[in-house]
Amino acid sequence: MTKIEAIIRPNRFEAVKEALSDLGIDGMTVSEARGHGRQKGHTETYRGREYEVSLIPKLRVELVVLDERVEPIVAAIIASAATGEIGDGKIFLSKVEDAIRIRNQERGDIAL
């Protein structure tokens, strides 16, 4: 099993969700995040005054999938989240040793 953690732009979430749904992904965890990478934030104007936004809003999409499904899912996230501009986000992959469904204590692949 592999955990896929994608940090994406909030305005690309619906496209990512639809792409994952098309692949049969029916479970994911989504949380709001703030951060910056190489772009180090940006300047915005509010009521005529400029101010620095150093932590940019992002969404974190997390899912655990079977190893053979990783590459198509990663390709779908990239295709639906990419704008070609700095700040599109990142995808992190990590191995998961075990998964346990709390309701009935099923373990392993069946718990997904």
Please state the φ and ψ torsions of residue 34, each to the nearest 5 degrees.
-135, 140
Question: Is pLDDT above 70 for 41?
Answer: no
Contacts of 35 (CB under 8 A, 6+ apart): 7, 55, 56, 58
Work out the percent of the chain whose per-residue pLDDT is above 70.
Answer: 95
Specify the pLDDT at position 49: 82
Which pTM value belongs to this model? 0.85
User: Cβ(109)–Cβ(92) under 8 Å?
Assistant: no
Specify the pLDDT at position 88: 92
Q: Is the dihedral of CA 38, 40, 43, 44 positive or negative?
A: positive
Q: Tally Cβ neighbours within 10 Å of residue 99.
A: 15
pLDDT band, residue 50 (cuts 50/70/90): confident
User: Cβ(27)–Cβ(92) under 8 Å?
Assistant: no
- Which of the listed CATH numbers 3.65.10.10, 3.20.20.70, 3.30.70.120, 3.40.50.2000 matches domain 2-111? 3.30.70.120
- Convert the pLDDT of each residue in 51-106 to its tens digit: 777 788 999 999 999 999 999 999 999 999 999 988 899 999 999 999 999 999 99
